[in-house]
Every structure is written in structure tokens, then in C-alpha cells.
Structure 1
Amino acid sequence: MTDRKLLSIVTPCYNEEDNVDELYRRIKAVITGETAYDFEIIFIDNASRDGTVAKVKTLAALDPAVKLIVNTRNFGHIRSPYHGITQSSGAATIYLASDLQDPPEIIPQFIRAWENGYKLVMAIKPVSMGNALVHSLRKSYYRFLDGISDISLLSDSTGFGLYDKEVLDHVREIGDPYPYLRGLICELGYEIKTIPFEQPRRLRGISKNNIYTLYDIAMLGIVSHSKVPIRIAAFFGFLIGFLSILAALGYLVLKLMFWEDFPFGLAPIMIGVFFLFGVQLLFVGILGEYIGSIHTYVQRRPTVVEKERVNF
């Protein structure tokens, strides 16, 4: 038995057979120098269709510190990583992506900050070597989200960082089945130590993010931490209703004053109808996002269903 604290490293993967060996090698190179701690390395696989699971099982057979969770199906880009984090048992948990865009070499900086008393140590990427347009849009989104949120949110974070066990215990108690984790940890109010890094370009494999997943994350962040959109919808509805009444009264007065010379015409009617339909659909969609979030929470389905575990 050892009195050394256990630190957990959690990395989600989906079709990352080209990266898991190098990721493991780089993690081991880093943690070998951290002799004051024991480590567990948890891979949570989201039902990969390539050789990812086989490669991780090979690593687990050679190194008992490597643990594997395999999901029965692909549970998405939010639920699977979140489940992996909540299954860790260390005094602190380090989360990083398996695509090597979260460099393991930053892990010692996380640990030093944690030793200095920070319970949340988050990496932020003010500079990214990836797609410049996507990075710019993300920065704009973070500024927008921070502006409309009830709390101050962490910008330029991907979730890459260190979470103390005390923080994760609070997260487990909340039990959100579909959390915006980057916002949830800010809700808890702990002081966050940030460590900037330059995000490298993805070298192997393809990104699992697409327009839908990015939209999903963006809308989840908004509906989880702000009521501003739905209140704008209500205010705009009142405003349009009021203006519509004024316009109707104006048309009525003009028609009564200039009966023969003031035709109604179809153009203003059609424009008004289509404008109102467009606004209604927009705000019904916003309302639907909030209702969908409530529906997901009320269902209380399991975050993921596991197919197997290795080395637990």
C-alpha cells in the first residue's frame, strides 16, 4: 500500500486509433516525473468503429494504470466525456481530449497550481493553429455568452484542465444528465486558475465536431446559463403587437380620410404576414430549446450505458 495521492487522467475517444498510442506515450513521459503521486489513465470509448478499443486494451494489458470504459453506443460529445470524468476516483481529475490538441505536457502546470490551493485549473487557448474561422467564431460566441449569462463564464476553454475531487463531488450531486460543464463549474463559484496555451493543429484523424455538434454546444451554453433570449422574445412580441396596433389604427385613419385615394394594396399585407411568421418561428425555436433542455433533465435517463470495463 502507498500513502501517495491518486490523480486521475480522463480522456474520451471515438475513432482515435491513430492517436491513442502517442497520447499514452506522452502522458506516461509526463507523469513519470511526478513521483509524489499515483495515476490512473481512464479512456472512455464512445463505441468506436475502428481499432481504438483494441489498442487501448493492449495498453491496459501492459499497464494496470490504464483503464477502459466502452459504451454500448455513441452517446454523443457531451455525455460520454462527462460520464468518464464522474467515474474517476482520484484526489483530482485531469481531463484532456484524445486528439492531441490538448498537449499532455501542460499537466505538471496543472498539478503545481493545484498544490498551491486551486481546486480548478483550466487551460485556455487564446491562440489556435486550427481553423482560423472556427476559432474566431468561438471567441465571438464566448464573448456573447459571457455578456448574456447570469455569471462570468470562462472564455477560450475546451474543458481541458484539472478538477479537484471536491468540485466533482458537487457536480455529481447536481446530476445534470446533459451538462454544459464549462459553465457548470463556473456556477459553483470556485476560483479558477487559468493556464494559456497555443492549441496545435490536429495531425491525424478527423475532427468529430461538425455544424450540428457546435450548434448543440452553443445552444446548451445559452439555455443553461441565461434567460435573456426568451425574455427578448417576450419583449419583442409585446413590441410587435403594439406596433401592429398602431399600424392598423394608422391605416384606418388614412383610409377614412382619403377613401378614394388610399388603396390598401397586397404588398404591405404580405410583407407584414411573412415578417410576423418569421419572428414567430424564431422565438418558437428559442422556446423549444428551453423546453428541450427541461425535457432532457426530466427524463433522467442514464448518462451512458457501459458495455464493458477493463482494469477497474
Structure 2
Amino acid sequence: MKTISVVTPCYNEQDNVEEVYRQVRNVMAGIGRYRYEHIFIDNSSLDNTVPILKRLAASDPNVKVIINARNFGHIRSPIHALLQASGDAIVLIVADLQDPTSMIVTFVEEWEAGSYMVIGIKKTSEEHSLVFFLRKQYYRIAERLSNIETFQNFTGFGLYDRKVIEFVRSFGDPYPYFRGMIAEIGLPYKKIYYDQPKRKFGITKNNWYTLYDIGMLGIINHSRVPLRLATFVGFGGAALSLFVAVAYTIAKVIFWNTFSLGLAPTVIGVFFIASIQLVFMGVMGEYIGAIYTQVQKRPYAVELDRINFDIEPQVPTPVPQSVSIEYEAASMSSMESQAQPIEMEGT
């Protein structure tokens, strides 16, 4: 019997981890024809996430827990967990319940039909409309700059065959852009469109810096356009400067007594050129920083503890309602929000 691994990264998700565990187990029990393991990797949470995960692992041997020695960030920690999974297929799903667990059924069906990758694409989102609009614009820009086909509105939520995960391992990238890796691999895939619900418990752990970090990583890993743009702007600026210099020289010769250069154009020009230089120095710095990270070859994460990894996965049964009564109302509302029409597109 084959095994399906479900990987859930979490950080300060005490309000969500038990509910996502219960929903995933019930979905896998409904499928019924696979063993499964649910791997939670905790990025050194400061709340009660770890005690809750330890309690779940003690009551269910299919729950496996990795506790990081410190916070290794939102990019390295999930990859580490993916590479620890033993399943024939691996599902990546976040802990905040914004990835509908009911879609795992469709993911598995498409995998059984021959797709190596089944990826969830956000069709709509209940997050702030401005934020969703800005995300869509970023994905469009990233795709235009990239030298490969990328997936717009894709966060990593999906199912990946063991072969895909082994290709990810072979990249050996110490600071990987997982979404880009999936696009780079290029094996047959299926897109599943879904409506992303709003986070119901807790607050997002993303901030401006983490969003910028992953956004810039997505561009520099798959495009040389920013570097070449710096070169083109340099040539254009040089040509414009030469044209202005010749024009001013001619004007001064013709209107020797009345034409005055003035200080303002010089000051404005100097500051403009300096700002352009700083921008492109920053761009080049991003590429140099990426090279520096590659050279360091640091591990994705250092584990403080791991639980239940010596136990073979089993076919799950539904979670009894008595396991987490306090989450019953939340579970019902969450499952109702997931009952959205599904559209599929493949290649």
C-alpha cells in the first residue's frame, strides 16, 4: 500500500494546528486506500503550538513532529520538512486553514490519473482586495521577467510525486524558491483552481520584509532581466547626457551673452543619476547576496527534536468528535467555506 505524506509548516499557530490535523485526518480516512503521515515542522514557536503538537503525536502515531532549534525562516523550514517525508506523494498545506483540506481528495485523484504535480491556484481570495490585486500584479511581472513558464497565484499548496521531491533535493539550493523549482522541473502537472478563505484564527506571520524576500527571490532566481536593464539604462543615460551636453554647448555658443546654465539642472541631474546608481547597485547586491548564500551551503534547519519518525504510517480512521470539542464550531464553518466549485486545467 502506498503512503501519502502531508507536510504542514507552522509558527505560532496554536489556534489552528489541531483543527488542520483533524480535517486532514478525516479527509485521508475518507480516501481510505492509502497509509498517511502528517508531518508538522514547528519553526520554534513562542506560543503553545509545540505542546499541542506533542499531544497530537502522543495520541496518533501518524502525526510526526519536527521542532526546529530556532526560527529558520519561511523558506528553509518547509523545504526541510518536505525532504523528510517518506510518502509516494507529498501534500504541502499551511497551518492557517487558508488551504482547503477538502481539495486533497482531488489532488490524489489527479495524481492517480498520471499527474506528477497537482498545484492549487488561487482564483479568488477573501483577503483584502488591494493585497490580492498587488499579489496578482507581482506574479504577472515575475512571469514576464522569467525565462521559464511560472505559475501565477500559486503559493506552494499542492501534491507532488516522490519523483518531484527527489528533483527538488537534487537542486541542492540552500535558500530555495520552491515555487520556482516546481516550474523549473516541468513534469506533467494539473492546475486546480480554488477560492481562498480568510484566516479565521490567529494573525498572519508574513510582513513586508518576508514578502519582499520571497518576491525578490522569485525574480532573481529565474531572470537576468534586472541586470541587463541596469546595462540598458546605463547606455541610455550616457546617450542622454551626451545629447544634453551637445545641446547646451550649441546653445551657449549661439547665445553666448544671454544663455546661463544655472545651478538647478546640475543639482537635479546629479541626484537623479545617483538615485539610479543606488537602485541598480541594490539589484546587483541581490544577485551577489544570492551567490553568497549558495556558497555558504548552510542546512535548511537544525532539529531540536523529532517525534514518531520511527513509526510506520498507517491507514487513518476518522477523528472522534471528543478529541477536540472546542474546535467543532470552527471545523464546521471551515468545511462549509471550502465547498467551492473546482475548475481544472492541465498540461
What is the number of equivalent residue pairs in this alignment?
Answer: 309
Task: Show the counterpart of 1:16.
Answer: 13
Indicate yes or no: 2:307 matched with 1:310. yes
Give distance in 2, aligned partners of 1:89 and 1:5: 10
Q: Give the counterpart letter for 1:248 in structure 2.
A: A
Give distance in 2, aligned partners of 1:26 and 1:189: 31
Shift of 1:257: 2.5
| Identity level (%) | 53
Task: Show the counterpart of 1:209.
Answer: 206
After superposition, where does 1:1-312 map in structure 2 within 5 Å?
Answer: 4-312=1-309
What per-residue deviation string (whole Å, max 9, x for no partner) do you get for residues 193-231 of structure 1? 011111000000000111111111110000011111111
What per-residue deviation string (whole Å, max 9, x for no partner) do you get for residues 214-258 of structure 1? 111110000011111111111001110121122112222222222
TM-score (norm 1): 0.97
Shift of 1:192: 1.7
Shift of 1:146: 0.9
Give distance in 2, aligned partners of 1:294 and 1:191: 30
Give distance in 2, aligned partners of 1:165 and 1:182: 16
Instruction: State the Cα RMSD in Å.
Output: 0.9
Shift of 1:288: 0.8
Give distance in 1, aligned partners of 2:188 and 2:286: 30
SS at match of 1:162: strand
What per-residue deviation string (whole Å, max 9, x for no partner) do you get for residues 170-201 of structure 1? 11011111111111111111122011111000
Give distance in 2, aligned partners of 1:246 and 1:124: 49
SS at match of 1:12: strand
Shift of 1:132: 1.3
What per-residue deviation string (whole Å, max 9, x for no partner) do you get for residues 4-31 of structure 1? 1111000000000111111111111101
SS at match of 1:163: strand
SS at match of 2:30: coil
Give distance in 1, aligned partners of 2:222 and 2:124: 25
Shift of 1:131: 1.7
Give distance in 1, aligned partners of 2:292 and 2:14: 35
SS at match of 1:133: helix
Shift of 1:52: 0.3
Give distance in 2, aligned partners of 1:144 and 1:42: 34
Name which of structure 1's ranges 197-206 and 26-35 shifts more when overlaid on structure 2.
26-35
Give distance in 2, aligned partners of 1:26 and 1:188: 30
Give distance in 1, aligned partners of 2:127 and 2:237: 43
Gapped regions of structure 1 (runs ≥ 5): none
SS at match of 2:159: strand
SS at match of 2:221: helix
Shift of 1:294: 1.0
Q: Give the counterpart letter for 2:21 in structure 1.
A: Y
Task: Show the counterpart of 2:332.
Answer: none
Give distance in 2, aligned partners of 1:283 and 1:225: 18
TM-score (norm 2): 0.88
Give distance in 2, aligned partners of 1:173 and 1:123: 24
Q: Give the counterpart letter for 2:132 in structure 1.
A: H
Gapped regions of structure 2 (runs ≥ 5): 310-347
